[in-house]
């Protein structure tokens, strides 16, 4: 998974196309990310004791990871992340455009 929580991503397809947001949660098992203020769904909630009003609840819905692109903090562009071995032998994420470590 090349995208992590707190990354800024830009949406490249779907309803929120062109918008940016922060990744709140990554769901590796499903290959999806939840992006702040993106892909809202209205969930209808039944009246319960806990929620006597019932009604509709706004929630962020997961977006397929192939529909978002990481925004590089160095060059502020939507970019492809490449994995590279750093000096200490650890794998680091690098911006394909400006070669900066992300
Ligand atoms: Zn960059």
Q: How far is the CA of 88 from the centre of ligand 1 (A)?
A: 21
**How far apart are the two ends of the chain, measured CA to CA in Å?**
14
Centre of ligand 1 to C-alpha 74, Å, is 5
Distance CA 2, CA 91 (A): 11
Which pLDDT band holds residue 97 (cuts at 50, 70, 90)? very high
Using the mean position of ligand 1's atoms as its centre, give its distance from the Cα of residue 52 in Å: 49
Distance 92 CA to ligand 1 centre (A): 14
**pLDDT exceeding 70 applies to what percent of the chain?**
96
Alpha helix segments (H runs only) across 6-82:
none
Note the pTM of the prediction, 2 decimals: 0.75
Cβ atoms 77, 68 nearer than 8 A? no
Residue boundaries of the structural domains of the chain: 8-71, 75-102
pLDDT at 30 over 80: yes
Minimal CA–CA distance to 11: which of 64, 50, 58? 64
44 alpha carbon – ligand 1 mean position (Å)? 41
CATH for the stretch 8-71: 2.30.30.30
Q: Which residues contact 49 (CB under 8 A, 6 or more apart)?
A: none
Q: Which two tokens stand for residue 44?
A: 């209808």
């Amino acid at each position: 998974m090349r995208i992590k929580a707190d990354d800024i991503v830009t949406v490249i397809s779907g309803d929120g196309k062109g918008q940016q947001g922060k990744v709140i949660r990554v769901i590796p098992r499903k290959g999806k990310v939840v992006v702040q203020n993106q892909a809202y769904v209205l969930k209808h909630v039944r009246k319960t004791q806990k929620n006597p009003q019932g009604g509709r609840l706004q929630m962020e819905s997961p977006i397929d990871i192939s529909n978002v692109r990481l925004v590089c903090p160095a060059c502020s562009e939507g970019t492809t992340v490449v994995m590279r071995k750093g000096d200490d032998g650890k794998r680091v994420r690098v911006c394909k455009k400006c070669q900066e470590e992300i």
